[in-house]
Structure 1
Amino acid sequence: MDYPNVCFPTQAFFSLSFLEKLDMSRNNLTQIPPNFSESLAALRELRLDHNALVLLKPPGLEHLENLEKLHLSHNRIRSLEPGAFRGLSRLRHLYLQGNLLGVVRDGSLTMLPALEVLLLGNNNISRIEVIALAPLRSLSWLGLEGNHLEHLNFKTFLSLHTAATHLQLAGNPWNCDCDLHCVFSKLLSVRHLHVDDYRNVTCREPWQLTGASLAWVDSQLCVAETVTVLVIIATVIQVHKFKQEAGLDTMN
């Protein structure tokens, strides 16, 4: 189907109860009606990519109890409402690349016990809340490349209690400091977490390291910060001593 500005008629799919695959991509759809999925319980794959969807909220998808693949890439989705994926207990692949998501919030990815692949690349994500990923106990692949991440909270990924999860993190504007080094060091030491593109993770800040691979400089970051701090402390001590000596000379 490829018709511009398509609107869902109220009972558009009521006679398609045995349908297993539905392609509604490239239709300029702006929303998913509340009753959209009522007669589509047999659906296994749904394509809604390359539309103009802005917001996902219940109950538009909640009757898709057999859905395994959901394509939502290249829309204008800015946020995922809590419960947006309610009822999708068999969903294994969720594609959300190329949207406008800014934050992955706690509660936005609940009720997805079977999810194995979550692709969030090329959004505007600058923050992932601490337990946002915790419900995803089957997750094996998480794509976060090409976002706006500068730092990470290690606890966010430690909450992933999976057998093995592969992470894609390149193409973000990383601020390469001692904290980031510590986070990546911990990630690389966790047996079930694998940063597959670690050697392609590059620094944006500080400017002296722009374009440098984090893998090449990470062991020097904390040393450099420590040296800088020591130099500052030594300078302050010297200035203080100088002022004291200058004060004594004046008194004499």
Structure 2
Amino acid sequence: MAEHDAERGYLLDNRQSQAGVRFGALAELFDPVTFRHVDRLGIGPGMRCWEIGAGGPSVPLGLAERVGPTGTVLATDIDVSWMHHVAGGVIEVQTHDVTADPPPPGGFDLVHARLVLVHLADRAEALRTMVRALRPGGRLLLEDADPALQPLLCPDESGPEQRLANRLRSGFRTLMAERGADLSYGRTLPRVLREAGLAGVQADAYFPITSPACAVLEEATVRQIRHRLVEQGLATDEEIDRHLANVAAGRLDLATAPMISASGRRP
């Protein structure tokens, strides 16, 4: 969730205080989807897993439960500050840049990255690193957003509050695109996995239409990027304050971009 191109600067920096809130909301929204796929792929006792761009601890902890004391979970990110407390036992935490560093040695039964590749400038190199890290028969599970498929924060744009929310979300997408994010990347994952030589490719998509966690995620995200929205003339402080008040009051049905989950097996 937090690998990034340091030259461009990741828009949602792990070092900001809101990052932990975002990780918690993302876990509530998407962990059930992630682990449905992990379980479908047969990840179990004794296996080796590599979690890329882990950001928060929830996915490494869930993988550790599945691989048990005889397995291993390697959790990596450029900034691992939110994961130090889970290191130990089967979980190893390392600083790693998937676009620049070689894959960890040993081979993995599962390589997983969630909401990582969409933010990277050199997605192709990152993918090559992930595929090289797989054992024969190992599974790659990529999960990434596709904001262009469903760009609205409020799909039911029923009034001025919803229109304001959608305009601020448009500003967020502008900031992401300026930093090299591919806002249509999620839909390409099945093709990308096939072109990488993986077999048995499957994919689906999920997005909540409204959820308490969506409101938590939106508030934390807007607080992280508000200075950039204002600096670039995408919103005023007054508009941002009004939007945050609408979110806090529960007046909005807030959605997310679709998260597309795609998996394939190394022959």
Shorter-chain TM-score above 0.5: no
Q: TM-score, normalised by structure 1?
A: 0.24
Q: Which has the larger radius of gyration?
A: 1
Structure with the bigger percentage of helix: 2
Q: TM-score, normalised by structure 2?
A: 0.23
* Greater relative contact order (CA < 8 Å, ≥ 6 in sequence): 2
